[in-house]
Amino acid sequence: MQNIRAFFLAVSGIAVIALVAVLTASLTAAFAGMLAIFTGIRLLSSRLKPVPVRATTAKPENMRVWNDGRGTIIDL
C-alpha cells in the first residue's frame, strides 16, 4: 500500500510540474507573439505619416492676365 501511494504521489507531482512547464511555455509564446505584433504595428505606423492638408488653394504665382486693347492675354 505504501508503494502505491508513493507511486501516485510521484506521478501526480510529475504531472503538476509538466502542467506548469506547459503553461509557462504557452504564456511565453503568447507574450512573444504579442510583442512581435506590437513591434510590427509600431514599425508600420511610423512609416505611415499623415499627408498635410492645405488650408488654402495654391495660387499660381507666375500667371499674368492683361488686356492690350485687342483682347485679353493670359500668360501662363
All cell numbers assigned to 46: 511610423
Q: What is the pLDDT along the chain (76 residues), one digit of tens a residue?
A: 789 999 999 999 999 999 999 999 999 999 999 999 999 998 888 777 777 787 777 666 777 888 888 888 887 7
Per the structure, how many domains does the chain have? Answer: 1
All cell numbers assigned to 76: 501662363
Domain-located, residue 60: no
Domain-located, residue 44: yes
Q: Which residue has the cell 504557452?
A: 26
Domain-located, residue 76: no
Distance, CA of 71 to CA of 21 (rounded, Å): 90
Given a contact cutoff of 8 angstroms between Cβ atoms, the answer to whether 63 and 75 are in contact is yes
Residues comprising the chain, all counted: 76
Structural domain of residue 34, as residue ranges? 2-54
Q: Which residues contact 76 (CB under 8 A, 6 or more apart)?
A: 60, 62, 63
